[in-house]
């Protein structure tokens, strides 16, 4: 009986691992479709999206996602009437993790994008 349960667990684990790889590959392909810019500062590299014209709005993403999540959220809120800056926070897609990744330093890095 335990051999049967072990076999089922191995098969289920393989299915989960394969589906995970498929989903991760799709996510990376989706990220490659965005027009990404890169900024370098004392805090390292930061990737971001910068689209539109007019008054500037910068948005920070939540715990899941990066510049892509921030951009989609901001675009759905304000449409095309504003300049939208959507950076990846420290350690998120395309952005480095500095030696001092504090909220204060994150805010300073965001200010660098506005200059």
For the chain, which residues make up each domain, given as ranges? 1-33, 35-114
Residue pLDDT, tens place only, 33-58:
889 999 999 999 999 999 999 999 99
Nearest residue to 88 (alpha-carbon basis) of 33, 54, 52, 50:
50
pLDDT in tens, 4-14: 899 999 999 99
Alpha-carbon torsion 104, 106, 110, 111, what sign? positive
Pairing of strands 56-58, 83-87: parallel
Yes or no: is domain 35-114 CATH 3.40.50.720? no
Residue 48 is predicted with a pLDDT of 95
Sorted by sequence, the CB contacts under 8 Å of residue 48 that are 6+ apart come out as 36, 37, 38, 39, 67, 85, 86, 87, 88, 113
Per-residue tokens: 69? 């999540």
The confidence score (pLDDT) of residue 59 equals 92
Determine what percent of the chain is predicted with pLDDT higher than 90.
60
């Amino acid at each position: 009986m335990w051999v049967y349960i072990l076999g089922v667990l191995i098969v289920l684990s393989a299915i989960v691992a394969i589906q995970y790889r498929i989903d991760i590959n799709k996510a990376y392909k989706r990220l490659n479709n965005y027009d990404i810019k890169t900024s370098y500062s004392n805090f390292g590299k930061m990737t971001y999206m910068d689209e539109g014209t007019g008054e500037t709005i910068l948005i920070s993403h939540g715990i899941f996602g990066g510049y892509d999540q921030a951009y989609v959220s901001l675009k759905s809120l304000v449409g095309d009437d504003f300049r939208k800056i959507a950076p990846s926070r420290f350690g998120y897609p395309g952005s480095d993790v500095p030696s001092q990744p504090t909220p204060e330093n994150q805010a300073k890095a965001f200010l660098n994008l506005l200059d």
